[in-house]
Structure 1
Amino acid sequence: MDKWLIPLLLVAAGVALYEQSKAEPNYYLMAFAGLVFVFCMAKLSAKIPSKKEHDETE
């Protein structure tokens, strides 16, 4: 499942940055790419354990 999140995150960031550099960017495409980026970051960050959980288990 993680194998498709990182490439999707990079593609979304690339599309958003590319659209932003155009003379007339497509704001809907930029917004969609931003939402995909935030979704992927939330999914990836949910898998990182917190330090509090690690301290409580010891």
Structure 2
Amino acid sequence: MKKLILPVMLVAIVVGLYEQTKAKPNIFILIIAIVIFMYGMMRLSAKTLHNQNHSIEDKTIEEEDDANEGR
């Protein structure tokens, strides 16, 4: 699926940038290109791991104590 999303996103970026260079750009084409790009970014970022959960588990007791003293 990732192989399909990346080319579609690149086409949306190119179309959006090309449309902006026109003297009178079509707003609807720009909106559609932005929506496609944002949807693709959402799909790609959903597959990345979130490091926040891992960083909390990896902290040592001393690091947690130092963080609590600062509050």
Q: Counterpart in 2 of 1:24?
A: 24
Q: Counterpart in 1 of 2:65?
A: none
Structure number with greater Rg is 2
3-state DSSP of counterpart to 1:47:
coil
**Deviations, residues 13-42 of structure 1 (Å, cap 9, x unaligned):** 110000000011111001000000000000
Tell me the CA shift for residue 53 of structure 1.
3.6
User: In percent, how many aligned pairs have the same letter?
Assistant: 42
For structure 2, the 5+ residue unaligned runs are 59-71
Moved over 6 A (4+): none
Q: Which has the higher contact order (CA 8 A, sep 6+)?
A: 1
Q: Counterpart in 2 of 1:37?
A: 37
TM-score of the aligned structures, taking structure 1 as reference length: 0.88
For structure 1, the 5+ residue unaligned runs are none
Aligned residues: 57
